[in-house]
Structure 1
Amino acid sequence: MSSIFSKIIAGEIPCHKIAEDDSFIAFLDITPIREGHVLVVPKVEVDKIFDVNDDLLAKWLVFAKPVAKAIEKAFPCNRCGISVIGLEVPHAHMHLVPVDSADDLNFTREKLSVSQDDLKETRKKILAHL
């Protein structure tokens, strides 16, 4: 069964795309924990990050790096944090989030309520620095 991320990758579900290549896609989280929250997903559907083959795993961070740097420039923050939890969607993915403290990566907090227009503006801010 295809994950929601596989459907996004296939173009069956729209997203606010930040970056894409043959192996990965980065797009805005529609229920972000902070403005600028981006998901980075390999196009191959693998449930757990440590089941991703070594070559793809190494390339994943290299793909995510310019996105993280753009997030840091687009939003006032100490740095871009990274988190891999993988409980909500059975498709390996990483979260890139602008953070000022470890609590900014607390996924048990209430998510932000954002509109499509908010997401479009967030996307513009990140793309301006990519």
Structure 2
Amino acid sequence: MESIFTKIIKGDIPAYKVAEDDRFLAFLDISPLQKGHTLVVPKQQTDYLFALEDTLLADLNLFAKKVALAIEKATGATRVGVAVIGFEVPHAHIHLIPINTMDDMNFANPKLKLPKEEFEAIAEKIRTNI
């Protein structure tokens, strides 16, 4: 069965894309912990991050690094936190979250509710910093 991320990759579900190449896609999380919270996924649907072939896993991390540096510039965050949890969607993915304190990355915190226009502006700002 296709994951929600595969449906986003195929264009069946819209997303606020920030970066894409032939193997990877980065898009804003629609229930972000912080403005600029981005998900990075391989286009190949694989349930578990560490089930990815070594080269694909390494390249996914390099792609995520490029996106993280753009998020840092776009948001002015002190750092970009990285989280891999893997239970919520059966498709390997990396959370990139702009943070200024460790508490900014607490998944128990309430998620932000942002209007479409704000998501679009954040995505554009990240794209321009890549």
Q: TM-score, normalised by structure 2?
A: 0.96
Deviates more, 1:120-129 or 1:90-99: 120-129
4+ residue segments displaced more than 4 Å: none
Distance, in Å, in 2 between the alignment partners of 1:122 and 1:79 is: 17
Could you tell me which amino acid in structure 1 is paired with residue 75 of structure 2? F
1:95-130 per-residue CA deviation (whole Å, 9 max, x = no partner) reads 111111222111111100111111001112212211
Name 1:9's counterpart in structure 2: 9
- Mapped partners of 1:69, 1:3: distance in 2: 27
Does structure 1 residue 117 correspond to structure 2 residue 81? no
Show CA shifts across 1:63-112 (max 9, x none): 11111111111112111111101111111100111111222111111100
Q: CA RMSD in A?
A: 0.9
For residue 86 of structure 2, what is the aligned residue in structure 1? Answer: 86
Q: Report the secondary structure of 2:59's partner residue.
A: helix
Report the residue type matching 2:22 in the other structure: D
Q: Does 1:102 align with 2:89?
A: no
- Cα deviation for residue 26 of structure 1 reads 0.3
Distance 1:78 1:49 in 2: 26
| Residue matched to 1:43 | 43
Q: Equivalent pairs: percent with the same residue?
A: 52
- Aligned counterparts of 1:60 and 1:94: Cα–Cα separation in 2: 9
AA in 1 matched with 2:85: I
- Paired residues in the alignment total 130
**Alignment correspondent of 2:62:** 62
**If the length of structure 1 is used for normalisation, what is the TM-score?**
0.96
